[in-house]
Chains A and B, each alone.
Chain A
Amino acid sequence: MQEHATSDTYYVPPPSIWPLVGSVALLALASGFALLLNKFSAGPYLMALGMGILLIMLFGWFGTVIHESLAGKYSDQVDTSFRWGMAWFIFSEVAFFSGFFGALFYSRIIAMPMLADAQLLWPDFHAIWPSAGPGLKIVLTPVDAWGIPALNTLILLSSGATVTWAHWGLQKGRQFQLKLGLALTILLGVLFISLQVHEYGEAAFSIRDGIYGATFYMLTGFHGFHVMLGAVMLSVIFFRAVAGHFTAERHFAFEAVAWYWHFVDVIWLLLFIFVYWL
């Protein structure tokens, strides 16, 4: 088509339609969700449409990026940009989880004692965590930290080790170690999610059960969602590794996903300590 002036050092991609497709997808998803929440029958269909468009966009966009990467268009400077970009993205995710952790600490350390002090309103409410608040009259049985959660901690920590082991393989040119390490990591991730689903099924309380239920499901739910995303990204990386996309020198996509996986790992540790254990 047209020839595009690109810098000697920096690749400026040609015009692309994918961003617009992504915007249409999000608009459909968001409007569909708003309709669904308010019980309009069109909601789910619009959401499905948005989801479909979003998937097409993700395939198209990432496909283009992989293509460009394999064509050797990305200089070292572009590589550094990707690194900064991913690092700041993870920082924004840290900020996102801090908000929910903030809500947990606030309700536990500030709101709960204050409600217990409000003797006139709720004379027989005591500040004991886990709490469903003074008005709901619910007795909570929390999840035992040393059951499934401890097992899940072990699983996720091991998966951090296997992904690092895969990285070593990649760096030393041992492609088999890379693939095996990735496969193990994905397996552990799936195992984690399955156990988490099992735990949700067994749990004696729901998201509606006061502030404990709300913070519990919000934090573990968003974390689980991130593990799922991470597992999907790892699978893409696995297939790319099988296709021989990565060399010992150039494999930023692998590293980005590994960073992300470690980030999810760290969040889990915090969850284990502050949501399940203490």
Chain B
Amino acid sequence: MYTAADPADAHAHDHAPSGFMRWVSSTNHKDIGTLYLWFSLFMFFFAGALAMLIRAELFQPGLQFFQPAFFNQLTTMHGLIMIFGAIMPSLVGFANWQVPLMIGAPDMAFPRLNNWSFWLLPAAGTLLISSFFVPGGAIAGGWTMYPPLFIQGGIAYDMSILSLHILGISSIMGAINIITTILNMRAPGMTLMKMPLFVWTWLITAFLLIAVMPVLACAITMLLTDRHFGTHFFDAAGGGDPVMFQHLFWFFGHPEVYIMILPAFGIVSTIIPTFARKPLFGYVSMVYAVASIAFLSFIVWAHHMFATGMPLGGQLFFMYTTMLIAIPTGVKVFNWVATLWRGSITFETPMLFALAFVFLFAIGGFSGLVLALVPVDIQLQDTYYVVAHFHYVLFSGSAMSIMGGIYYWLPKWTGHMYDEKLGKIHFWLTTIAFNITFFPMHFLGLAGMPRRIPDYALQFADFNMIASLGGFLLGASQLLFLYNVIQCVRGGAPAGNRPWEGADTLEWTQSSPPPYHSFVTPPIVK
């Protein structure tokens, strides 16, 4: 498929600067990608630790360990850090490593800007995490930051708002970089419709980021001015409206959930064809499905606000558009299954994660459909059913496909094979523990248990105990992942250029690890 003769290999001697400065001042997409991935892994464990505390408190009814105020800080910060610190940066890390390699580019379009996009993250992370230690503690109003609650807290609220501003700058610059790289740096012959699907999903995700991160910036700026400069954006006495914040937030928030899932779709669409040893079924329809999901994501936001109240016409509109999303999503699930059909399938760790993704993400999609029904949602809003829904799409969706992607490309990135057996154990423990943790939450929610609450009525005790036990197992299993990754970085069986025989994207034509500067002369794609 590709003639990737690289005459430049001769002079592309690796001049990687070494030590501390290599990482701090890097203009290399691979190094910056690595930084993103380590940062997000750290944040994953930090926010995961908060989740362990949440599950410990919920192990039994009654207040066990924490005061309610601190419990609220835990749930808020868990959500915020997982979304902005773990999932989003790790997907940008994938984009950094993979996009230039997959389109045959020498680097990202703006390598210095790329470095800044990363180094803003530790700055923002410092600000956010240190807010645990200021008077009054961290923010506690939920990751959705609704006023009037969010207008009343202490300095941590300002720190978090400003931290989100920095994260937003980082995301927007990163997205501009990725979108420009994809539009302008493809190797000769790599037309848009020949791009690997992972690149397509990132093209569209980058567009979503540039369109909605500024809207979040608006919303939280108004929170800040309402807090300190006497504006009345969200205060009815002054003619404002707290519901306006919800509109602005979810206009960002719903595209945001697709920002977290589309690149994951891309990863899964790369892994499944490799291990089914068949080209992706329905490539063109996959591209259109991603584009229509992105389009729809702009006109469904108020499905998060059915219980807030809105005119009947609004309810109908947002219900129908939300249900429409199921169509392109269904197209994708269908295509993944059709790719498997009559393939010669093997079940290496990345493939296990990808298959579990298809199955479990579909469950999350279905619970989403249930929530899209206005009369049902008015019952289920702010219950554990919603918590179950978004963990099926975000943990078994985004996070598990990220893990699969790590196992898939780690041999390419490090030049070593990871421990396959350990990888499989990690997979099974994760999948089983995940379902033990989150499946019972559907029942809890249907029975009426509210979310974001440190104590609960006695009839919810059994399922909560099961969920907590599953949660601890889930948390502990991730240590295996950490161990496996570290071992693989440090050594292991040589991977060779193409450890997966079914893989046919451009990165596999490079050595493992690829030279510090790859595709210095662009390959010709036929």
Contact = CB atoms under 8 A, between A and B. Distances in A.
Interface of A: 2-10, 12-20, 22-24, 26-27, 30-31, 33-35, 37-38, 61, 77, 80-81, 84-85, 88-89, 91-93, 95-96, 98-100, 102-103, 106-107, 110-112, 114-115, 131-136, 206-215, 217-218
B138 interface: no
B231 A207 contact: yes
A15 B239 contact: no
A30 B520 contact: no
29 contacts: A6-B106, A12-B27, A12-B28, A13-B111, A16-B112, A19-B119, A23-B116, A23-B123, A30-B162, A37-B155, A37-B224, A38-B158, A84-B184, A85-B176, A88-B210, A91-B211, A93-B214, A96-B218, A102-B248, A106-B244, A112-B239, A132-B238, A133-B232, A134-B239, A210-B238, A211-B240, A214-B231, A214-B240, A218-B225
A131 B232 CA distance: 12
Given A16-B112, A95-B215, A30 B166 contact: yes
A217 B25 CA distance: 40
A34 B130 CA distance: 12
Interface string B209-251: 0111111011101101101111111011111110110011001
B168 to A, nearest CB: 10
B17 interface: yes
A133 B11 contact: no
**Chain B interface SS verdict (over half):** helix
Contacts of A133: 232, 235-240
Contacts of B8: 5, 8
Q: Closest 5 A-B residue pairs measured CB to CB?
A: A135-B237, A133-B239, A99-B218, A19-B116, A211-B239
A23 B154 contact: no
Contacts of B126: 27
A2 to B, nearest CB: 5
A96 B25 contact: no
Contact of B107 (A12, A34, A215): A12
Interface of B: 8, 11-13, 15, 17, 21-22, 24-28, 105-107, 109-113, 115-116, 118-120, 122-123, 126-127, 154-155, 158-159, 162-163, 165-166, 169, 172, 175-177, 179-181, 183-185, 210-215, 217-219, 221-222, 224-225, 227-233, 235-241, 243-244, 247-248, 251, 516-517, 519-522
A119 to B, nearest CB: 14
Contacts of B127: 27, 30-31, 34
Contacts of A15: 17, 21-22, 25-27
A111 B222 CA distance: 16
A12 B221 CA distance: 36
Contacts, number: 245
Contacts of B230: 206-208
A103 B120 contact: no
Contact of A4 (B15, B105, B215, B228): B15
A129 B89 CA distance: 44
Nearest to A10: B106
Nearest to A80: B184
